[in-house]
A and B are shown apart, each in its own frame.
Chain A
């Protein structure tokens, strides 16, 4: 097959014959049990959907970490955005994934909408600006969730809102940063993992440098990885190779989309609009310097201060073990609620709500 176009080239990363060869090499070279964790919802889905999970040797254990932005959104943040939705003259603009995330007492945005709250699903933060232009008499509150991939898109949107004088546009910034969460995870003595598959598109923005400590301080082989089956298999081979040589390193497997220094322009925009702050993570608790708050002159776009809402450190939902699932301590099907009271149709926790949540992926592909 001639690889004349970019489309052909990208399709080759799914090639079954090449995958089989890489799988054979993994089987031959695997020196012993290996538990690897990915921290990206797209990796979770890719590993299940492609069938890789069922093809890997049994000695390789796949753990899904805190990589789904909806899943790591803290109980206190969910409660706060539900409170924002009930404020007078507010229209919530949100990515669709957040609609069914259960808050305290099983309430959700979807339920709030049914009760008359104004909630609009948007595909991009930028679409929320159009709402602000259309509804000048209302305040538009965009729910800013997501990691370093998404945060620059929200920052760029806020900059445009400022330039265009859209003062009725507000943001609830719940953005989270991946490297501090990985540091917190590796400091937890109950977390057992041998290697990390690092999120490709977060890395598109932040580059390689912020991950160096994973190998240097923690001795964990860590591979920035693309999302096609060949990418994931190659990453596993690189991990096996590092284990054999005893030299853990951070390697950029996904160099077609990740430059070593990431995307400096996106980071500049992010640094202009946001400042690094502490953040609450579901399952992981408060992690220092792991979130983003509005900075300087952009603070006037802060939905929480403008509308007088606070984020409280609320306890987990009763019976919900999403926190343990997010840390890789518990396989989704070992949760007492899994496929009983908690299903994609009746989710108790966020890992079952988001299509990228590990419980939802497990339910869809592994049952």
Chain B
């Protein structure tokens, strides 16, 4: 139950404070009460128990992967 998964924001309803999110064909509506950084359509957010917790930082993810790449002489870009 402590599972949290990254899902893509498909649409946002600010009035109801909810977003429609999707990953691998699974669609959910999530609450935006506790997310600290406003998410936009196309962003990935971490979803837990019906709430978006945080926006995933894609640039940061790429940085982490770059570290592996440089340290291990790997090519992907």
- Residue of B3, B8, B50, B68 near A356 (CB, 8 A) is B3
B49 touches A125 (CB 8 A): yes
Q: How far is the CB of B14 from chain A (nearest CB, A)?
A: 16
Kindly list chain B residues whose C-beta atoms are within 8 Å of the C-beta of A21.
Answer: 68, 72, 74
Q: How far is the CB of B59 from chain A (nearest CB, A)?
A: 9
Chain A window 233-271, contacts with chain B (Cβ cutoff 8 Å), 1 for yes, 0 for no: 010000000000000000001011101000111100100
Kindly list chain B residues whose C-beta atoms are within 8 Å of the C-beta of A147.
Answer: 2
B48 touches A10 (CB 8 A): no
CB-CB nearest in chain A for B68: A18
B50 touches A354 (CB 8 A): no
Q: Of residues 9 to 59 in B, which have CB atoms within 8 Å of A's CB atoms? A: 31, 33-36, 43-44, 46, 48-51, 53-54, 56-58
* Binding site secondary structure of chain A: helix
What separation, in Å, do the CA atoms of A338 and B12 have in the docked complex? 47
Binds B, one of A150-158, A216-224, A311-319: A150-158
B1 touches A70 (CB 8 A): yes
Q: Is A201 an interface residue (CB 8 A)?
A: yes
Q: A3-B77, A201-B2, A255-B64 are in contact. Are A18 and B51 (CB under 8 A)?
A: no
Q: How far is the CB of A218 from chain B (nearest CB, A)?
A: 24
Q: How far is the CB of B42 from chain A (nearest CB, A)?
A: 8
Q: How far is the CB of A262 from chain B (nearest CB, A)?
A: 9
Most buried by B among A12, A25, A356: A12
B53 touches A263 (CB 8 A): yes
Kindly list chain B residues whose C-beta atoms are within 8 Å of the C-beta of A17.
Answer: 74
Kindly list chain A residues whose C-beta atoms are within 8 Å of the C-beta of B35.
Answer: 263, 265
Number of cross-chain contacts by CB at 8 Å: 143
- Residue of B36, B50, B51 near A264 (CB, 8 A) is B36
Q: Of residues 96 to 130 in A, which have CB atoms within 8 Å of B's CB atoms? A: 96-97, 123-127
Q: For this complex, into which size category does the number of interface residues on chain A fall?
A: 35 or more
Q: Of residues 123 to 164 in A, which have CB atoms within 8 Å of B's CB atoms? A: 123-127, 145-147, 149-150, 152-153, 156, 159-160
What separation, in Å, do the CA atoms of A259 and B1 have in the docked complex? 23
Kindly list chain A residues whose C-beta atoms are within 8 Å of the C-beta of B50.
Answer: 123-127, 153
Q: A255-B60, A266-B53 are in contact. Are A150 and B2 (CB under 8 A)?
A: yes
B51 touches A153 (CB 8 A): yes
Kindly list chain B residues whose C-beta atoms are within 8 Å of the C-beta of A42.
Answer: 2-4
Kindly list chain A residues whose C-beta atoms are within 8 Å of the C-beta of B44.
Answer: 6-7, 10
A6 touches B56 (CB 8 A): yes
Kindly list chain B residues whose C-beta atoms are within 8 Å of the C-beta of A41.
Answer: 1-3
What separation, in Å, do the CA atoms of A9 and B63 have in the docked complex? 10
CB-CB nearest in chain B for A70: B1
Q: Of residues 165 to 179 in A, which have CB atoms within 8 Å of B's CB atoms? A: none
Chain A window 1-41, contacts with chain B (Cβ cutoff 8 Å), 1 for yes, 0 for no: 11100110110110001100110010000000000000011
CB-CB nearest in chain A for B3: A42
Kindly list chain A residues whose C-beta atoms are within 8 Å of the C-beta of B51.
Answer: 124, 126, 152-153, 156
- Residue of B43, B57, B72, B77 near A255 (CB, 8 A) is B57
Kindly list chain A residues whose C-beta atoms are within 8 Å of the C-beta of B77.
Answer: 2-3
Kindly list chain A residues whose C-beta atoms are within 8 Å of the C-beta of B48.
Answer: 149-150, 153, 201
A22 touches B34 (CB 8 A): no
Q: Which 3 pairs of residues, A with B, have the shortest CB-CB distance? A: A124-B50, A156-B33, A265-B36
Given contacts A2-B76, A153-B34, A255-B60, 4 further A-B contacts (CB under 8 A): A124-B31, A201-B4, A255-B57, A354-B1
Q: Which residues of A contact B (CB under 8 A)?
A: 1-3, 6-7, 9-10, 12-13, 17-18, 21-22, 25, 40-42, 67-70, 95-97, 123-127, 145-147, 149-150, 152-153, 156, 159-160, 199, 201-202, 204-205, 230, 234, 253, 255-257, 259, 263-266, 269, 354, 356
* 22 interchain pairs, CB-CB under 8 A: A3-B62, A3-B77, A7-B44, A9-B65, A10-B56, A21-B68, A42-B3, A97-B1, A149-B2, A150-B1, A152-B53, A153-B34, A201-B46, A204-B4, A204-B53, A204-B54, A255-B57, A255-B60, A256-B56, A256-B61, A266-B34, A269-B33
